[in-house]
Amino acid sequence: MTVNVLAVLADAVEDVRPNKNDYAITVQLGKEDEASYVRVVFYSDETYHKLLTFLKDNGRDMVETSSGKLIKYQAYCGEYAVELNMEQHLISRTSARTIDYKTVKNVDESYNEYRFIIRTDVEPWSQYIDRQVEKQLKREAKGKKKQSVEELM
């Protein structure tokens, strides 16, 4: 992201796609500080295909669903529920402009974002979730639209 900001400042062309080596790991704990789930967001096609092969070879009760730009695989590996998602992101941007602000070049790009999630039987918990549940209870008392804890996260 920093490289993109510097590219804009230098009047160069920024690359809005994540690098294939970028990743983020999130560990959500439960009330007893036990892991509820681990989520890894990554952008490597090779890693995705390795994980998908692993799921197909070692998972049981695999379910595949897709809608639009999202493909989701769900299975059980041992005592864990495992989910592997692929979501395509489309980017349309103008890469350069002339002095009189006429468009010189439009760029249409895409990249895939992958999410690998390992869930345990532990319910997720945080103070934020508790506050959101309290807000939801107040909303319900006032007769407003209901939201699930999953939607709040």
pLDDT tens by residue, 94-136: 666 666 666 566 667 789 999 999 999 998 888 888 898 899 8
Top pLDDT among 51 and 129 is at: 51
Backbone angles phi, psi at 45, to 5 degrees: -60, -40
Q: 135 with 67, same domain?
A: no
Contacts of 122 (CB under 8 A, 6+ apart): 29, 30, 32, 34, 35, 36
> Would residue 135 be called left, alpha or beta, if left means φ above 0 and alpha means ψ between -120 and 50 degrees?
alpha
Whether residue 58 sits in one domain with residue 105: yes
Same domain, 75 and 108: yes
Closest residue by Cα to residue 88 from 109, 63, 118, 116: 109
Question: Are residues 72 and 136 located together in one domain of the fold?
Answer: no
Q: Is residue 31 part of a domain?
A: yes
- When pLDDT is averaged across residues 13-39 and rounded to a whole number, the result is 87
- Give this prediction's pTM: 0.70
Q: Shortest CA distance to 124 belongs to which of 46, 55, 33, 1?
A: 33
- With respect to residue 3, please indicate whether it lies within any of the assigned structural domains: no
Domain presence at residue 38? yes
Whether 37 and 25 have beta carbons less than 8 Å apart is answered as no
Question: Residues 116, 136: one domain?
Answer: no
Mean of pLDDT values over 31-35: 90
Section 123-150 average pLDDT: 80
Answer yes or no: do 66 and 131 share one domain. Answer: no
* 69 and 28 belong to one structural domain: yes
Averaged pLDDT score across all residues of the chain? 83
In a domain, 28, yes or no: yes
pLDDT of residue 87: 95
13 domain-assigned? no
The half-sphere exposure of 25 on its side-chain side, counting CA atoms within 13 A, is 5
For the cut 90, the answer to whether the pLDDT of residue 76 exceeds it is yes
8, part of any domain: no
Any residues with CB less than 8 A from the CB of 68 and at least 6 apart, and which?
Answer: none
User: What's the pLDDT score for residue 10?
Assistant: 60
Which band of pLDDT confidence, cut at 50, 70 and 90, is reported for residue 15? low
Mean pLDDT of the region 64-88 = 94
The more confident residue out of 102 and 18 is 18
60-67 sheet: strands from edge to edge: 23-29, 35-42, 103-119, 80-97, 70-77, 60-67
Asked if residue 5 is part of any domain, the answer here is no
Per the structure, the complete domain to which residue 84 belongs is given by 18-122
Give yes or no: residues 83 and 146 share one domain: no
Q: Which residue has the tokens 């669903």?
A: 65
| Stretch 37-54: mean pLDDT | 96
Residues 22 and 86 in one domain: yes
The structural domain count of the chain equals 2
Alpha carbon distance 138, 153 (integer Å) = 18
